[in-house]
Amino acid sequence: MKRIISSLLVTTAVSLTWPTVVRADAVTDWNTIALDTIMGASPARPGPVVFLDIAVVQAAVYDAVQAIGGKYKPYKVEIPGASGSPEAATAKAARDVLVSIFPEKAESLDTMYRGYLTKKNLKENDPGVSVGEKAAAGIIAMHANNVRVPNPSPDPFRGDTKPGMWRPTTSYQSGAPASDSAMATPWLGAVTSFTLKSGDQFRVKPPPALTSEQYTKDYNEVKELGGFSNSKRTEKQTELGLFYAGGSFKMVETTLREMAEKHVDKIDDSARLMALGTIAMADAAITCWDSKKHHLLWRPVTAIQEGENDGNTDTIGDRNWQPLTNTPPYPDYTSGANNVTTALTRTLSLFFGKDEMSFTVTSGYPKSDQKTRNYSRFSDMSADMVEARILQGIHFRFADVAAREQGTKVAEWVFSNVGAKK
């Protein structure tokens, strides 16, 4: 399981050392520290819970900054009479949340926290420190780690063997062992969300029937374009699939932070953007997992290997078919990567008031020769993610499209419920 989770996070060597922080904005500085801490955790955090972890950090930072600046309404925690440095409040709020998630990292986080205050010529008794402490305490109480990760863990969930139903996959890449793992974080769709009424608020309608025209079309598409060998992919399509392979957490979170660094020059606005983006992605992940667990649709690798047993004469099976990249251990419908990517891009378009904007996305997938892609519209990144998951052989198109619709709805919901001006 640890190997699978590491793949999901697109692990990189990280170091909690001061030189990694180069930005003057405390919000993005501490977002960098938070991402490094989360991605460097050992054991690794369970699957998509990382999206919730970073949202807890940014929610606390947002409430701390807004308590002092007063430009926007708080997310949850009101702190009357707040004063002091918003930078100190940011550092303390982020530090306290991270220590609550990773108590074993308390010493290194404290060293970084004190070093940050010193570098910024701030005192540990700055009034902003108290503000950050109160904001963190309030957010931790609402989104405690034991709420996001049940303890003890529930029994493993392995789905069903009926036609169309998800079960542990037997996909591999370049001869790697079959994953055959139980569903990762099967509880996620029922955890306490950040803004949703419940995890099923934006649950999608059932997927196409196995004998339907839509299913047949999408089955044959992923079979032809998503295979590890004998695929009809072009070189350009393979490049796109590999660029977006291996997980989306670091990619989307870094893209969000870089947009704040390059285009936002006030700390209250930076805190708002980071909170909106991370909360939207967290609630999108919760929404996605609710749909995955509810509909329990099999992955393309299972569908194609069992194609002779699905009751559809137009879906020719292939017992030896394998996808271009490893299939993650959870159901197909809907796509998590498309959910969170669209939650990000729709949030950015709402925040900046337009879809047209130049930005760069960086891939962390080792087998991708292309390391960056430049875009001029947020929606183009979402469109590429739809195609990429098909080209990787791990999703049907209808699962990607439905996820994009979910991510859009979640982002719009979060934007209307968080960060309004006072």
Predicted confidence (pLDDT) per residue in 114-165, tens digit:
999 999 999 999 999 999 999 999 999 999 998 999 989 899 999 999 999 9
Q: Are 395 and 332 in contact (CB under 8 A)?
A: yes
Q: Above 60 in pLDDT, residue 341?
A: yes
Average pLDDT of the chain is 92
The length of the chain is: 422
pLDDT of residue 9: 36
What domains are there in the chain, each with its CATH number? 2-148 (1.20.144.10), 188-417 (1.10.606.10)
- For residue 13, pLDDT beyond 80: no
Helix H, strand E, coil C: the string for the chain is CHHHHHHHCCCCCCCCCHHHCCCCCHHHHHHHHHHHHHHCCCCCCCCCHHHHHHHHHHHHHHHHHHHHHCCECCCCCCCCCCCCCHHHHHHHHHHHHHHHHCHHHHHHHHHHHHHHHHHCCCCCCCHHHHHHHHHHHHHHHHCCHHHHCCCCCCCCCCCCCCCCECCCCCCCCCCCCCCCCCCCCCCHHHCCCCCCCCCCCCCCCCCCCCCCHHHHHHHHHHHHHCECCCCCCCHHHHHHHHHCCCCCHHHHHHHHHHHHHHHCCCHHHHHHHHHHHHHHHHHHHHHHHHHHHHHCECCHHHHHHCHHHCCCCCCCCCCCCCECCCCCCCCCCCCHHHHHHHHHHHHHHHHHCCCEEEEEEECCCCCCCCCEEEEEEHHHHHHHHHHHHHHCCCCCHHHHHHHHHHHHHHHHHHHHHCCCEC
Taking Cα atoms as reference points, which of 257, 277, 284 lies closest to residue 351? 277
Residues with Cβ within 8 Å of 143's Cβ and at least 6 positions away in sequence, in order, are 52, 55, 56, 59, 192, 194
Average pLDDT for 59-78: 97
- Rounded to the nearest 10°, the torsion over CA 166, 170, 174, 175 is 170
Count of CB atoms within 10 A of residue 261's CB? 19
- pLDDT at position 180, please? 74
165 forms bridges with which residues in the sheet? 297
The tens digit of pLDDT for each residue in 280-297 reads: 999 999 999 999 999 999
Model confidence, pTM: 0.93
pLDDT at 247: 83
What is the spatial distance between Cα 227 and Cα 221, in angstroms, rounded to a whole number?
10
* 4 pLDDT more than 50: no
CA atoms lying within 13 Å on the CB side of residue 44: 19
- The residue ranking higher by pLDDT, 180 or 115, is 115
Neighbours of 374 (CB within 10 A): 9
Cα separation of 354 and 370, whole Å? 27
Residue 361 has pLDDT above 80, yes or no: yes
pLDDT band at 214 (very low <50, low <70, confident <90, very high): very high
Q: What is the pLDDT of residue 174?
A: 53
Q: How far is CA 393 from the centre of its chain?
A: 20
Residue-level pLDDT at 8 = 36
Contact 293, 332 (CB under 8 A): no
Quick one: which of 230, 259, 242, 191 has its CA closest to 392?
Answer: 242
Q: Are 403 and 336 spatial neighbours (Cβ–Cβ below 8 Å)?
A: yes
Percentage of the chain with pLDDT > 90? Answer: 89
Residue 171 pLDDT: 66
Q: What is the pLDDT of residue 21?
A: 40
Above 60 in pLDDT, residue 177?
Answer: no
CA distance 422 to 407: 27
Give the mean pLDDT of 80-90: 98
> How confident is residue 316, by pLDDT bands cut at 50, 70 and 90?
very high
What pLDDT, in 10s, does the model give residues 246-261? 889 999 999 999 999 9
> What does the longest C-alpha to C-alpha distance in the chain come to?
72
Q: Is residue 236 within 8 Å of residue 323, measured between CB atoms?
A: no
CA–CA distance, 253 with 275 (Å, rounded to integer): 11
Task: Say what the pLDDT of residue 286 is.
Answer: 98
